[in-house]
Structure 1
Amino acid sequence: MTENKGLPVAGYKSQSDANVALVNANKQAEESILRMLDALGQLPDVDKRWLATGRTEIEKGFMAVNRSIFKPARVRLDTDPITE
C-alpha cells in the first residue's frame, strides 16, 4: 500500500491510496451535484437565496466527510508550552 505524502500544510499527514480514492470519489460526487445546482440557478423561478444556502450546506457536508477520512490534526502554536 502506498502512502501519499501529505500537503505541506500544518496538520496534514500522509494518506493511503484507499483514503485518496475515497476522497476523490467524494469530489466527483460533489462536482456532479454542484453542476446540477448550477443548472437550477439558471431557472428563473428558483429562489437564489435558498439555492445558495443549500449549496453551502452541501459543500460543508462534503468537506466534513472528507475531513473524517483525512483526519487533519490540530497544530502546535509558538505560544504553547514546551512539553517533553
Structure 2
Amino acid sequence: MQIDMKRVDPELNMDRFYCVELTKDLFGDHGIHRQWGRSGSWGRIRNDWFDTKQEAQRAMSKLINDKVTRGYAINPPFSE
C-alpha cells in the first residue's frame, strides 16, 4: 500500500511531495519506505524496519497524520 501526498503553496515557492509505502523484505521483516522532496526531483529516501506488521502500520498512520496536519493533501489513487 502506497500513499502519495503533495503540498503546494505558490506564495512560499513550495511544491513538495511525500510518498509512504509499507514494505516487507525477503526475511519477513516489515518496514516503511518513504521518499520526499521538491516535486521534479528524486528527493530523499529512508527505510525504517519494525518487528511486526502492526508496528509498521501504526508508524505509517502517524507519519500520514503528521503530514496532513502540516498541510499535505493525499493524492487520489491512480486508475486507468
TM-score w.r.t. the length of structure 2 is 0.35
Kindly name which structure, 1 or 2, has the bigger radius of gyration based on alpha carbons.
1
Structure (1/2) with the larger strand percentage? 2
Q: Which has the higher contact order (CA 8 A, sep 6+)?
A: 1
